[in-house]
Homo-oligomer: A and B are copies of this chain.
Amino acid sequence: MVSNERVGRSLLRQEVSERIKRYILDNRLRPGSPLPTENELCAALGASRSSVREAIKTLDALDIVEVRHGHGTYVGGLSLSALVEGLTFRGLLSPNDDFAVLSELVDVRELFERGNAAAIISALDGPHLDTLDDLASSMGTAVDADRVVADRRFHALLVNPLGNELVSQLTDAFWDVFTAVAPRLGLTPSDQDPVRLHKAIVHAARAGDSLAFADAVVAHYAPIRTRVAAARHAQSIRN
């Protein structure tokens, strides 16, 4: 017990967590860079291994730190995995209305594509459009899991040319949350023709028509909206 001035409102493991974060920042470490071992951190920060470990677990949950059993602790990928896990759980719990989160998710996902229509169109080039077309086509031929993968890639590639990594990661995250929550709430995938709905988006982009692009995006999410609303309504009657 060296510096015992930790009075009042401060929990030790939170102090440790802050100091580990500061260590990463001060040393300009990068994702993947190794961190001191637990014992070294204990000695450096003057805390027991339990406290250090609990602090590390907190940072691990935020993907600020990544722990490999038997190997060491490293700077994490700084992904949005915490958002995905948190939102997924909220979607499964959902006070009052089980489908509110799903409905709101669709709104945001649509907004990301519709609201960036002009920028997306001007950033998409020929090869990119061809890839999108291929993905749309594959949603007709592929089966089950592959179809889902194609859908995910399609929407990821749609916003990627924006060059905004945050938008790209949020798009992925919201897609992950939706596909994780929907089936566990008994929501079956839309039976509308996915090929046509996705190709319409590509077609509008190729034509450089941002209004048509926005309309196509809205049309793409319309059947999903309908399905969520139907399940929502069925639930409200059931109760």
Question: Are the CB atoms of B108 and A166 closer together than 8 Å?
Answer: yes
Q: A53 to chain B: which residues have CB within 8 Å?
A: 54
Select the stretch in A37-45, A81-89, A131-139, A226-234 that faces chain B. A81-89
Which B residue sits closest to A174, measured CB to CB? B166
Q: How many copies does the complex hold?
A: 2
Q: A165 to chain B: which residues have CB within 8 Å?
A: 100, 104
Most buried by B among A90, A95, A111: A90
- Smallest beta-carbon distance A41→chain B, Å: 15
Interface flag for A221 (CB, 8 Å): no
Select the stretch in A24-32, A140-148, A190-198, A205-213 that faces chain B. A24-32
Question: Are the CB atoms of A104 and B164 closer together than 8 Å?
Answer: yes
Which B residue sits closest to A163, measured CB to CB? B104
Q: A116 to chain B: which residues have CB within 8 Å?
A: 111, 115
Residues of A within 8 A of B (CB): 11, 13, 21, 24-25, 28-31, 50, 53-54, 57-64, 69, 78, 80, 82-83, 85-87, 89-90, 92-93, 95, 100-101, 104-105, 107-108, 111-112, 114-116, 164-167, 170
